[in-house]
A = this chain, B = another copy of it.
Amino acid sequence: MLRTAMPTAVPTPPSHPFLSACRGERPSRTPIWVMRQAGRYLPEYREIRSRVSFEALCRTPELCAEVTLQPIDRFGLDAAILFSDILVVFDAIGVPVVFNPSPQVAAPVRTAADVKALRWGRAADHLDYVYQAVRACKQALTGRVPLIGFCGAPMTTASYMIEGGSSREFEHTKAMAFTEPALFGGMLENITTLLIEYLAGQVAAGADVVQIFESWGAAFAPDDYRIHVLPHVRRLVAECKPLGVPIILFVRGNAGLLSQIRDLGADVLGVDWSLDLSDAIDVVGTHQVVQGNLDPLTLLGPAALVTEKAERIVVAGRSARAHIFNLGHGISRHTDPAMLQHLVDVVHRS
């Protein structure tokens, strides 16, 4: 079983500000990392991608580690996040996906027969290349900063299989939930089992923290989210608690969903940029650790604007139990890396 794999030889110092904040302690300074920090806005990332496809990169542990560490070497960020994609789990169940660059699933999964045909049993065992990547990252990090593993939330993950790729309206996903709730629920239950095993595998390989990405939380109206989606997120969080690492739950488009996810037991709640961080803290309570939430496109503006907005978020975060600075969504590929450095400096000196 993956859970009993040998722990990594390079433990993370327990006093790191990011881990302290995850545990609800107040570190001496606000830690910062940013979603998609290893990515296309970095010339050193584009250099690797000029030689290697996205799919090959995800499947090559040494390159994953190299890319994962690029923003750590550059910016003085407080956490690394494994370079991978939430859709690598499709490999495990036999759903071919290509990235062009947005993900495309040529054979969408929409019927009971489609769902049954997938390779559900011990699916996470097929993701050993990811666990190897986690080990390679930990070795390369030599304890400098903690490593975050991750997965998509059940519905976000499923939506790509059902829609056949990215979607604006999620019409197939919602039509399935509305017309065949048992089929939809069964599929999400299977995916949730896979995700639990997958996160266990990442933790066994050395991930210090895990983040669950509900990137498409806004696909469902609040009532429908509560009925069709929330139970699976609840189970995912609950069954990952025994892994013993902090769990960050990030729900995008969450202004109306924060009140649903605040009590699931996640150690940290990620807040997107659609609401003021202070309003989010009002909803989730000052006993919660929060992460967020600068609009990533702010980094396309002038440095003075970034300073002003970042400082306001740091101040707002002080009313939470602890605050991890992050963007409210992935960094834009149009970002000047110098502006991210400016942001890191502003947060660290605030």
Task: Show the binding face of A for B, using Cβ within 8 Å.
Answer: 168-171, 174-175, 178-179, 218, 221-224, 253, 255-256, 273-276, 279, 295, 297-298, 300-302, 305, 309, 328, 332, 334
Residues of B within 8 A of A273 (CB): 221
A113 to B4, CA, bound (A): 64
Kindly report how many copies of this chain are found in the complex they form together.
2
CA distance A194 to B221 in the complex (A): 35
A178-B300, A300-B179 known; A295-B255 Cβ under 8 A: no
CB-defined A-B contacts under 8 Å, sample of 6: A169-B297, A175-B301, A218-B274, A221-B273, A222-B275, A253-B274
The residues of B that contact A332 with a CB separation of less than 8 Å are 169, 171
Q: How far is the CA of A169 from the CA of B296 in the complex (A)?
A: 10
A-B pairs with the 5 shortest C-beta distances? Answer: A178-B301, A255-B255, A175-B300, A174-B297, A256-B275
Inter-chain contact A334/B171, CB cutoff 8 Å: yes
Q: How long is the Cα–Cα vector from A253 to B168 in the complex, in angstroms?
A: 13
Q: Are A178 and B297 in contact (CB under 8 A)?
A: yes
A137 to B247, CA, bound (A): 57
Whether B179 lies near A301 (C-beta < 8 A) is yes
Give the residues in chain B near A223, CB-CB below 8 Å: 276, 309
- Write out the residue numbers on chain B whose beta carbons fall within 8 Å of the beta carbon of A170: 297
Known pairs A175-B297, A221-B274, A222-B276. 11 more at Cβ < 8 A? A171-B332, A171-B334, A175-B300, A178-B297, A178-B300, A178-B301, A178-B302, A179-B301, A218-B274, A221-B276, A221-B328
